[in-house]
Amino acid sequence: MTKIEDVSIIEIPRVHDERGLLAVIEDTTIPFKIERVYYLYDVPSDAFRGGHAHKKLWQLIIPLSGSFDVHIKDGQNEQTINLNKPHKGLLIVSGIWREIDNFSSGCVCLVLASSVYNESDYIRDYNAFLAFKKS
């Protein structure tokens, strides 16, 4: 079963010159095949997102602009990570509970996902998540 130690920051390679920075994600940058991309924007600063885990899905969460906090739990341990650099993404493997809050004004949160949207992959109840981790 996955643990919060399996969650990691992935540094996205950048090309820097006097015109600015260019960050590149290729198939070798992340350990899954991207099947879906979505993004959150116009998020109220007091919004609470996530509040679920995935049975199989892996995600890379990137603060394209601004910052927010990601709280992760594996049923035993928990950690909060503030994402605030557009070249540092958080790789969340399957079986990890996540909650996202403390969105900065104008924040854009990009998510790369390992599969298309599938509601049956979600665990949205925390007690069901704890039971899933024990099973």
Per CB under 6 A, residues contacting ligand TYD are 36, 38, 40, 49-50, 117
C-beta separation of 117 from 95 below 8 A: no
Point out which residues pair with 109 in neighbouring strands: 40, 63
Q: Is 87 a catalytic residue?
A: no
For ligand TYD, give the closer residue by CB, 36 or 88.
36
From the CB of 16, what's the least distance to ligand TYD, in Å?
Answer: 31
**What is the distance between the alpha carbons of residues 111 and 127, in angstroms, rounded to a whole number?**
25
From the CB of 42, what's the least distance to ligand TYD, in Å?
Answer: 13
CA distances from 48 to 70, 87, 110, 120 (A): 10, 23, 16, 21
Active-site option among 52, 54, 71, 87: 52
**What is the distance between the alpha carbons of residues 93 and 7, in angstroms, rounded to a whole number?**
6
**What is the distance between the alpha carbons of residues 81 and 95, in angstroms, rounded to a whole number?**
17
| SS3 state at 80 | strand
From the CB of 133, what's the least distance to ligand TYD, in Å?
Answer: 19
For ligand TYD, give the closer residue by CB, 21 or 80.
80
Residues annotated as catalytic are 52
